[in-house]
Amino acid sequence: MCRRGLRSSPVSSASDTRTQIEQAVNRFLEEVPALQKLKMVITLELRGRGDIQQYRVEVPGPKISKGYAEDGRLTLEVVRSTFNELAADGHVADWQAAFEKGQAKAQGPVEIQRLISQVVEKQLERSKLRRARR
């Protein structure tokens, strides 16, 4: 219920966030099957208004737990509102656009970032070719 012109906003619990992360990871890996066998631990930082939530995401799986991943190879920083949209119905091209716009950032070894980027680019090219043939 809204009082004094304030809008109520949905509160996101940790379990809801874990479900969102799982959906986002599974959708991404379905669209980029070449990365499904990649074994890695990622720190996911969700940045909201003055708040940063950190999650440890292990793939394949995914296995998700709250907190910083000390054994993480990559750190993904994503604006919380952008993540919510991407988790709900984002596709690989949407993730790519978020990185290009600066709403998402990756930190970690350049070799790993380059590998993932190249695999994603090739998958997007394949997807465009399939659509063009139809």
Q: What is the pLDDT of residue 61?
A: 84
Q: d(Cα 111, Cα 114) in Å, to the nearest integer?
A: 5
Q: In the chain, count of helices (H) and strands (E)?
A: 4, 5
Q: d(Cα 91, Cα 32) in Å, to the nearest integer?
A: 10
Q: What is the pLDDT of residue 126?
A: 84
Distances 27 to 18, 32, 88 between C-alpha atoms, Å: 14, 9, 10
Residue showing tokens 């604006």? 79
> CATH assignment of 14-133?
3.30.1050.10
- Band of residue 128 on the pLDDT scale cut at 50, 70, 90: confident
Share of the chain above pLDDT 70, in %: 84
- Band of residue 13 on the pLDDT scale cut at 50, 70, 90: low
pLDDT above 70 (res 133)? no
Report the half-sphere exposure of 79 (CA within 13 A, side-chain side): 11
How much of the chain is in helix, strand and coil states, percent to nearest 5?
50, 20, 30
What's the whole-model pTM score? 0.79
**Where is average pLDDT lowest: 37-46, 48-57, 73-82, 122-131?**
122-131
Q: What is the pLDDT of residue 89?
A: 87
